[in-house]
Amino acid sequence: MVDYKYNYLPITTVLTLYSNGQFRNEESFIDKGKMGHYFQDLYTDWYSNEPIREQGNYDDNMKQGMWYTWHENGQLMTEQQYYNDDLQGLYTKWNRNGKIIEQGHYNEDLKVGIWYTWYNTKGKGIGEDEAG
C-alpha cells in the first residue's frame, strides 16, 4: 500500500502480524531501486501479547528524534533521542516497576558527562560515573 511520496518517491507501509494475529511491526520505507529500501517515518514494534515494544521515527534510513522502548508489562523502559542514527542528548532507563535505573547524556553516540545509576526498590541513587 502506498501512503504518500517523499522526494517524489512512493512510501510503502508494511504491517506484519504474529501467528496469533497480533501486530508484530509496522514500518514504512522508500524503494530506492539499486540502493535498496530505506526506512522512512514512524516505526512501531509490538510484543506478541499486544503492548508496544519500540517506537520511533526514521528519516532516510536513519533514526531521528525521540525513540521509546517498553517492558512487556507496558511500563516505559527507555527514552532516548537520535540525530542521524546517533544517540544524542538525555537517555533515561526505567525498571519494570517504573523506577529510574539509569540516566545520562549522549553526544554523537558516546556517553558524556556524569551518568547516574539506581537499582534498589526505593529508587535511591547508588552511584555515579564520569563517562569517557
Tell me the residue length of the chain: 132
**Is 90 exceeded by the pLDDT of residue 7?**
no
- Residue 120 included in any domain: yes
Per the structure, the complete domain to which residue 10 belongs is given by: 1-60
Q: Across all residues in the chain, what is the average pLDDT?
A: 83
**Residue after which a domain boundary falls, among 28, 60, 92:** 60
pLDDT, tens digit, 9 for 90 and up, residues 42-66: 889 999 887 899 999 998 889 999 9
- 81 with 102, same domain: the answer is yes
pLDDT computed for residue 35 by the predictor? 65
pTM exceeds 0.85, yes or no:
no
- All three cell numbers of 99: 523506577
Distance separating alpha carbons of residues 97 and 100, to the nearest angstrom: 9
- 28 with 83, same domain: the answer is no
- Write the DSSP assignment of 9-52 as a string of letters: EEEEEEEEE-TTS-EEEEEEEEE-GGG-EEE-EEEEEE-TTSSE
- 50 with 78, same domain: the answer is no
- 19 with 41, same domain: the answer is yes
- 119 with 77, same domain: the answer is yes
- 81 with 127, same domain: the answer is yes
Q: Provide mean pLDDT across the span 88-100.
A: 94
**Measuring CA to CA, how many Å separate 98 from each of 14, 22, 55, 77?**
32, 25, 18, 8
- 75 with 128, same domain: the answer is yes
- Write the DSSP assignment of 65-123 as a string of letters: EEEEEE-TTS-EEEEEEEETTEE-EEEEEE-TTS-EEEEEEEETTEEEEEEEEE-STT-
- 6 with 50, same domain: the answer is yes
- Residue 125 included in any domain: yes
Q: Provide mean pLDDT across the span 30-53.
A: 80
- 88 with 128, same domain: the answer is yes
Q: Which one-letter DSSP state was computed for residue 1?
A: -
pLDDT computed for residue 73 by the predictor? 94
Domain CATH number, residue 76: 2.20.110.10
- Residue 65 included in any domain: no
- 12 with 48, same domain: the answer is yes
Q: How many independent structural domains does the chain possess?
A: 2
